[in-house]
């Protein structure tokens, strides 16, 4: 199956997904982005056309992939003529129903991964979650998913929302803690490199162990002297001290009370 | 160089470090633990003797490795006759000076890693941080460090404390968020496995990119509709909702204001 796609949005996710679909043998007809430089950059990678005008979006694609920020979504979508073709969004949190006013055929194509434009990913390893308004659209999206990923699953909007919340904790918040740890080290002129084996092992542990069983550190040991000493050292940065305190308390609670 | 060691403590760190030192060609004379089953279990692995009585600790070791919880430390250390041999603790946060009343020769041997008894680690990849009260002790500890690790560095107590705080964020707090994400998924009957590619990629990204540049997700995009929707879904668990809110705010602050 070789299909023609249009990408609405040229951010991190659109950049990686569109290239994976192209390499799987499909064609990308056009890229839309409000930001011309983003549109041009992605269109070059995809050998596709581009536009910055919603009204000039090609009405003849098989599937429209929408990967826009919320504010752009409500502004841009009503301006596009989708010609009742299949329109899918790529968001973990948005319900499938937000597409119902734009086409008779719609769905969701959600790849669960953290994408940065400058970093390569192996799309085959990325779990993709599918939802569609009609069985025939579901069949098409499952097939497109299998072109790029070894793990394609049906999931409704309600469950997908919780999957996304879990991903925010396991990825976005985790990365913010890497950022905080780098800042703490930088102030003491310690290279971030020394933390890398620890960061990798912390992640690899939970590929094999239950996260609750992998927990180590002063909070799970209830080592209150060390926690107090750390809070004392962090008091110059109220935000870090507050986070340290509230997360330590959350660890206490979780590991003290049997769930 | 082949030396004789005694381990005071039989927890996660003692279990891994003692075995690495044994495999490097040293002898472990004895293991002390308050908990007899822990002492026996580790002593069996090391082909060593064990004791649960501080007064029966062998006074003829070359180096005593102390890996005790804080409360055990102050209770047990005064009861041990160290015979002025080299005594080292393995703590990130404790100052070297807490050992000065117990021997004329003392230091710190801090391997920066998360250890769980049931999980193998490659000790060679673990950064070890050394401190000693005398140059001659420093030389011995650097040499012992190089027996087990490819990365051995001198670091004073003050800097080491901040290294430990950074490690708490990058490992212990990160793992707690894996735990929270698993709990959120379990309530919706979604297998934790679906998050594993994301968890691994999130860690691997910062091996190559600055963590601040690797940040993705609703908070760094200031996607307030999604954040509000997530908080609404989390309101049944006040602790998770509060963490979500405070970490999102911290991400806002960090990425809005140039540091």
Q: Which of A177, A229, A239, A249 has the highest number of chain B CBs within 10 A, making it the mutation to test binding with B? A: A177
* Contact: B187, A162; criterion CB under 8 Å: yes
pLDDT score, position A165: 98
- For B73-170, strand residue ranges (E) read 86-89, 106-111, 128-132, 152-154
Nearest to B142 by CA among B96, B109, B105: B109
Residue of A nearest to B214 (CA): A116
Cβ atoms within 10 A of the Cβ of A258, count?
4
Residue among B170, B216, B234 whose CB faces A115 most closely: B216
3-state SS, residue B132: strand
Q: How far apart are CA A118 and CA B34, in angstroms?
A: 52
Instruction: Please name the member of A178, A214, A251 whose beta carbon is closest to the beta carbon of B206.
Output: A178
B-chain CB neighbours of A200 within 8 Å are 203-204, 207
Q: In the block, which residue shows the tokens 């060691």?
A: B5
Find which of B130, B159, B173 to mutate to test the A interface (most A CBs within 10 Å of its CB): B173
Q: What angle do CA A215, A221, A227 make, to 5 degrees?
A: 105
- Chain B hits for A250, CB-CB cut-off 8 Å, are 176, 180, 239, 243
Decide if B173 contacts A202 (C-beta within 8 A).
no
Q: What is the phi-psi region of residue A84: left when phi exceeds 0, alpha when psi lies from -120 to 50, beta otherwise?
A: left
Q: Which residues in chain A are closer than 8 Å to B210, comparing Cβ atoms? A: 182
* Residue/partner pairs of B158-162 with CB below 8 Å, 24 or more apart: B159/A188, B159/A190, B160/B92, B160/B93, B160/B108, B160/B110, B160/B129, B160/B131, B161/A229, B161/A230, B161/A233, B161/B92, B161/B93, B161/B95, B162/A184, B162/A185, B162/A187, B162/A188, B162/A190, B162/A233
Q: Which of B71, B75, B94, B197 to mutate to test the interface with A (most CBs of A within 10 A)?
A: B197
A90-110 pLDDT, tens digit per residue, is 999 999 999 999 999 999 999
Q: For residue range A213-238, what is the model confidence (pLDDT) as tens digits?
A: 999 999 998 888 899 999 999 999 99
Query: Looking at residue A209, what is its pLDDT?
Result: 96
Decide if pLDDT at A257 tops 70. Answer: no
Q: What is the pLDDT of residues B82-109, one digit of tens each?
A: 999 999 999 999 999 999 999 999 999 9
Which tokens is B99 given? 């050992």
Q: Taking a C-beta distance cutoff of 8 angstroms, is the pair A67, A39 a contact?
A: no
Whole-angstrom distance, CA of residue B120 vs CA of residue A12: 36
Could you list the beta-strand ranges (E) of chain B.
4-8, 27-32, 49-51, 63-66, 86-89, 106-111, 128-132, 152-154
- Do the chains contact at A242 and B243, CB–CB below 8 Å? no
Distance from CA of A60 to the nearest CA of B (A): 31
Distance, CA of B89 to CA of B108 (rounded, Å): 5
CB B129 within 8 A of CB B105: no
pLDDT number for residue A222: 85
CA–CA gap between residue B214 and residue A99 (Å, rounded): 30
Are A197 and B173 within 8 A, CB to CB?
no
Q: In chain A, what is the straight-line distance between the N-terminal and C-terminal CA atoms, in Å? A: 48
From the list A169, A114, A167, the residue with the least C-alpha distance to B175 is A169
Inter-chain CB proximity A179 and B126 less than 8 Å: no
Q: Please name which of B178, B252, B220 lies closest in space to residue A115, comparing C-alpha atoms.
A: B220
Closest CB to B247 among A12, A70, A173: A173
Sort out which chain B residues have CB atoms less than 8 A from A90's CB and list them. Answer: none
Inform me whether the pLDDT recorded for A70 exceeds 80: no
- Residue B259 confidence (pLDDT) above 70: no
Q: Closest Cα to residue A124, out of A148, A160, A92?
A: A148
| A170 → closest Cβ in B161, B170, B199 | B199
Q: For residue A256, is pLDDT > 90?
A: no
B38: closest CA of chain A, how far (Å): 16
pLDDT of residue A162: 97
Look up the pTM and report it: 0.94
**Nearest residue on chain B to A163, alpha-carbon basis:** B185
Task: With beta carbons under 8 A apart, name residues in chain A contacting B229.
Answer: 93, 161
Confidence of residue A35 (pLDDT cuts 50, 70, 90): very high
Query: Do A166 and B184 make contact, defined as CB atoms within 8 angstroms?
Result: yes
The set of residues, in sequence order, having a beta carbon less than 8 Å from that of A45 and lying 6+ positions away, is A15, A18, A19
For chain A, give the mean pLDDT: 95
DSSP state of B95: -
A174-187 vs B174-187: helix crossing angle, rounded to 10: 170
Contact between A233 and B70 using a beta-carbon 8 Å cutoff: no
Residue A242, token pair as written in the block: 């507050």
Banded model confidence at residue B258, pLDDT cuts 50, 70, 90: very low
* pLDDT at residue A71, rounded to an integer: 76
Other C-beta atoms closer than 10 Å to the C-beta of A256 total: 9
Distance CA B11, CA B8 (A): 9
* From A126, A172, A220, residue closest to B219, measured CB to CB: A172
CB contact under 8 A, A233 and B163: no
Confidence tier at A55 by pLDDT (50, 70, 90): very high
pLDDT greater than 50 at residue B212: yes
Q: How far is B60 from chain A (nearest CA, A)?
A: 31
Residue B118, pLDDT score: 87
CA angle at B217 for the pair A44 and A112, rounded to the nearest 5° = 75
Residue A199, burial from CB neighbour count under 10 angstroms (0-12, 13-18, 19+): buried
Angle (nearest 5°) at CA A141 between A136 and A147: 135
Q: How many Cα atoms within 13 Å fall on the side-chain side of residue B187?
A: 17
Q: Is the pLDDT of residue B255 over 60?
A: yes
Q: How many CB atoms lie within 10 A of CB A77?
A: 20
**φ and ψ at residue A6, rounded to 5 degrees:** -120, 135
DSSP per position, A62-129: SEEEE---HHHHHHHGGG---TT-EEEE--SSS-GGGGTTT-SEEEEEEE-S---TTS---GGGS-EE
Q: Would the pLDDT of B117 be above 90? A: no
Give the model confidence (pLDDT) of B28-66 as tens digits. Answer: 999 999 999 999 999 999 999 999 999 999 999 999 999
Which residues have CB under 8 Å from A169's CB, separation 6+? B177, B178, B180, B181, B184, B244
Q: How far apart are CA A34 and CA A53, in angstroms?
A: 7
Q: Which residues of A touch B110 (CB under 8 A)?
A: none
pLDDT of A118 reads: 87
The nearest alpha carbon in chain A to B221 belongs to A69
């Amino acid at each position: 199956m070789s299909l023609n796609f249009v990408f609405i949005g040229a951010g991190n996710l659109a950049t990686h997904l569109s290239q994976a679909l192209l390499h799987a043998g499909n064609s990308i007809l056009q890229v839309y982005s409000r930001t011309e430089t983003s549109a041009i950059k992605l269109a070059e990678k995809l050998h596709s056309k581009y536009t910055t005008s919603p009204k000039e979006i090609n009405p003849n694609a098989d599937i429209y992939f929408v990967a826009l920020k919320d504010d752009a979504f409500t502004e841009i979508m009503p301006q596009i003529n989708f010609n009742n073709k299949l329109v899918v969004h790529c968001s973990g949190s948005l319900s499938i129903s937000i597409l119902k006013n734009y086409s008779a055929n719609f769905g969701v194509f959600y790849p669960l991964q953290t994408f940065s434009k400058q970093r390569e990913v192996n799309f085959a390893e990325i779990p993709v979650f599918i939802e569609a308004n009609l069985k025939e659209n579901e069949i098409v999206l499952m097939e497109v998913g299998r072109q790029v990923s070894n793990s394609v699953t049906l999931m409704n909007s309600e469950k997908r929302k919780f999957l996304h919340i879990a991903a925010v904790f396991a990825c976005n918040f985790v990365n913010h803690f890497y950022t905080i740890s780098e800042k703490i080290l930088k102030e003491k002129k310690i290279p971030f490199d020394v933390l890398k084996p620890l960061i990798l092992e912390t992640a690899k542990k939970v590929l094999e162990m239950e996260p609750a069983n992998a927990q180590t550190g002063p909070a799970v040991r209830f080592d209150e002297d060390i926690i107090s000493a750390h809070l004392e050292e962090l008091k110059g940065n109220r935000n870090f001290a507050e986070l340290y305190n509230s997360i330590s308390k959350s660890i206490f609670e979780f590991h003290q009370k049997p769930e």
